[in-house]
Structure 1
Amino acid sequence: MTDRELDLVVHGATGFAGALVAAYLAEHASHDLRVGLSGRSADRLDAVRERLGPRAAGWQTVVTDSADDDAVRALARRSRVVVTTVGPYERHGMPLARACAAEGTDYVDLTGEVLFMRASIEANDAVARTSGARVVHACGFDSVPSDLGVLLLARTAATHGLGELTDTRFVLTGARGGFSGGTVDSLRLQVDRVRADPSARAAVADPYALSPDRAGEPDRTADAPGDRRDSLRVRWDPESRRWLAPFVMAPVNTRVVRRSNALTGWSYGRRFRYEESVGIPGRLLGAPAAVALTAGTGGLALGMALPPTRALLDRVLPAPGAGPDERTREQGFFRVRLHSRTTSGRLVQATVAATGDPGYAATARMLGESALALVLDRDRLPDRAGVLTPATAMGEVLVERLRVAGMTLQPL
């Protein structure tokens, strides 16, 4: 791809999340990197570039409508890597993902939409493997901490000869940040699909919804127990010494991690079982807080599904294109603790943490570094193409980049 006109393009640069990614790249990309800003409005693209300052003065702007197949194909053809923040992806994302797969252009996004990722696998995986493209979904808070955190556990177990991973848990031990209009819009769309389509409902519920070999995954017999559906109950976890409540992002992250295991020949283990929770400390006082969080999570999902409460929620939840202010983004953070029992009976642990609002400041860092890894570290990346995950596309290279960028990704 050395003859491509642009090294990296941010598609959706005039949107809230896209502008944050562009700002991150303006601060951290090398001066000689050929960067483009893409969106539907030339005037708005020019305004974004001007706000980014001198380092972005030479960046090209490319007017591209996500619904125009010819335009997105032309964008993919002239770029080495395209990073897109235009969602909901089920509504707007497939033309660009399809074009990148066909043109051999690497692609990264921040989707947390299982149904879109499943559709992209079906439409783009074989094409991308033929063209050599890496189509990498879920490169933000969905699902980099989960995917790279489990990769760290597996690498630790393998390095010390501790066997494969078995029961593995991700516990969100702390977080602060805003709630985005784009995330709400994606949730609305998926809720509507699940209500209207029984096959979509079954796909969302399937722990192995993103597996490249669904028939090869373990079944649910006593001899080969399959993985759990996402837990909706409150319970005490002796490993983390916290009460566990449902994590709203688990139905996405767990599917991505299981796809990573399968894409690498089940390198985490054939007995690998994975779940995610929010952890609340306090043996006595933590229990009621965990129950309240569980009720709130369930209430939000139910409220989005029922027309009367949906109308009320639509009035109070953020609109598409809106996001937290700068102060909220700067003061945000997240902390995650992961632990797993290996086939030798040993415990391996890791921590993943970052400053900045998880869905925006931290996500802009994760998405930006993912794109830079594809552009600058191609010779060091795993030798894979197709529709991939952060761990299988970039793996240890992305771990190194994020550490340098200030994130904590550390075996314990």
Structure 2
Amino acid sequence: MHKAYDIVLWGATGFTGQLVAQYLLHQYGTGQALAWAIAGRNESKLKKIRTELGNENIPMIIADSHDRASLEAMVQQTKVVCTTVGPYAKYGDLLVELCVTQGVHYCDLTGEIQWMRRTIDQHHQQAQVNQTKIVHCCGVDSIPSDMGVYFLQKQAQKQWQAYAKEVKLRLTEVSGGVSGGTVASLDNVMEEAKKDPQVQAVLDNPYSLNPVGQQQGNDQLELTETTYDDDFKAWIAPFVMAAINARVVRRSHALNGFPYGEDFRYDEATFTGEGITGWAKAQLTSVVSNALFDPTSFLKKLINPFLPDPGKGPSEKQRENGYYKMVLRGESADGKVLKVLVHGDRDPGYGSTSKMLAESAVCLAKDELPASYGVLTPHTAMGEALLQRLEKNAGVKFSLLED
């Protein structure tokens, strides 16, 4: 069946949605090889976005997330729905359901573990039957982690003809503020966990995104305090995105049939450096990270005024000056080590995330991809094709580090 569009961008009037639209226009133009449209419920706001982008020819679709008929009409017109409308646990259920029933691929920026578990339980099987790819976590959580492990294991195969049995990711450098949407989603997850023991159980299980019956392994829950890392010879602290990233990496591994072995181990943390300075930075990072996960804490209330609201974010200059670096260390069963650097050329929360999401959508619409379907991860849905796009277009580089 012919589709009018390759991609429909749902949520184009929000802060991140505007950045995705800006990127698609700059990178692919309109009415050319990529057919795309912006969608939302407010026509005047969509028109304003077109004016701000300097292009009145971008097609618009009016739909409402609470109106099934209008949302269904939108989904039927496209090969891929790319959505920035969160928290997804509040606004995403119907859209995922319609994409699955219509056989339309889908990508988003969610980091909400409990909602992902729900979409897996409700839609994975039918999405497989309908040959549909539902791909969560297509931003800074969790593409650098998921594709970083993919890249590292590819290098391990080349060098060792074996896979790394343990991988550690350390966020080593970052410049750019946290996303207001991320903060809102975190708050929403914690609120749900307080009310629902099943949600808390999902958060308490490091393997909770794995298929049912495949949720055992050697990994512990995420780091919550300052620790010395002997492998990196430095102090480390909690990494606020570790809970979602690590579960996505484990789901990729499980969906691929555990190629690295069922005893494969993976963890993430923030690298803060050596000596007393490294220790002090780790202590501060630990306090702030733990406060973010406790909406009722005194410290969270104290830092709330300094956190961005959903839909608000850094200036263009701050985004362009932002960047991040992550180092992954892989170790083989016989003690061989290799390290990989993942480097993003914009602030992680918005500049880099918007480019990664846009390229994920284009990848789903245009590229020859693995014959994998269901509720997937970036790695299992798109594999090598996504890696190439990230490096060529999205300013995310993966490289082998020489010791």
TM norm structure 1: 0.92
Whether the 8 Å contact between 2:291 and 2:300 is mirrored in structure 1 is: no
Cα RMSD between the aligned structures? 1.7
CA distance in 2, matches of 1:151, 1:158: 11
How far residue 340 of structure 1 moved from its aligned partner, in angstroms, is: 1.4
2:64 equivalent in structure 1: 65
> Quick check: 1:265 aligned with 2:264?
no
1:246 equivalent in structure 2: 238
How far residue 157 of structure 1 moved from its aligned partner, in angstroms, is: 1.7
CA distance in 2, matches of 1:71, 1:232: 44
1:296 equivalent in structure 2: 288
1:321 equivalent in structure 2: 311
- State how 1:5-404 maps to structure 2 within 5 Å: 5-29=4-28, 31-54=32-55, 57-212=56-211, 214-219=212-217, 226-302=218-294, 304-306=295-297, 314-377=304-367, 379=368, 381-404=369-392
> Which amino acid counterpart does residue 143 of structure 1 have in structure 2?
S
Instruction: Name stretches of at least 5 consecutive residues in structure 1 with no aligned partner.
Output: 220-225
Whether the 8 Å contact between 2:292 and 2:300 is mirrored in structure 1 is: no
Whether the 8 Å contact between 1:192 and 1:305 is mirrored in structure 2 is: no
How far residue 238 of structure 1 moved from its aligned partner, in angstroms, is: 3.4
Bigger shift: residues 316-325 or 112-121: 316-325
> Which amino acid counterpart does residue 355 of structure 2 have in structure 1?
R
CA distance in 2, matches of 1:77, 1:305: 42
How far residue 310 of structure 1 moved from its aligned partner, in angstroms, is: 6.0
**Residues 137-180 of structure 1, C-alpha deviations (whole Å, 9 max, x = no match):** 00000100000000111111222344232221000000011233
CA distance in 1, matches of 2:244, 2:198: 17
Percent identity at matched positions? Answer: 37
Whether the 8 Å contact between 1:165 and 1:269 is mirrored in structure 2 is: no
How far residue 23 of structure 1 moved from its aligned partner, in angstroms, is: 0.4
How far residue 33 of structure 1 moved from its aligned partner, in angstroms, is: 1.7
Whether the 8 Å contact between 1:4 and 1:78 is mirrored in structure 2 is: yes
**Residues 70-100 of structure 1, C-alpha deviations (whole Å, 9 max, x = no match):** 2222211111011000000000011111111
> Which amino acid counterpart does residue 399 of structure 1 have in structure 2?
L
**Residues 158-216 of structure 1, C-alpha deviations (whole Å, 9 max, x = no match):** 2234423222100000001123322221112111111111111111121011002x323
Whether the 8 Å contact between 2:135 and 2:381 is mirrored in structure 1 is: yes
How far residue 409 of structure 1 moved from its aligned partner, in angstroms, is: 1.1
**Compared CA separation, residues 104 and 160, structure 1 to 2 (3 A):** same
Q: Would you say how many aligned residue pairs link Structure 1 and Structure 2?
A: 398
> Which amino acid counterpart does residue 148 of structure 1 have in structure 2?
M
CA distance in 2, matches of 1:273, 1:265: 15
SS at match of 1:160: helix
Instruction: Name stretches of at least 5 consecutive residues in structure 2 with no aligned partner.
Output: none
> Quick check: 1:409 aligned with 2:398?
yes
**Compared CA separation, residues 316 and 174, structure 1 to 2 (3 A):** closer
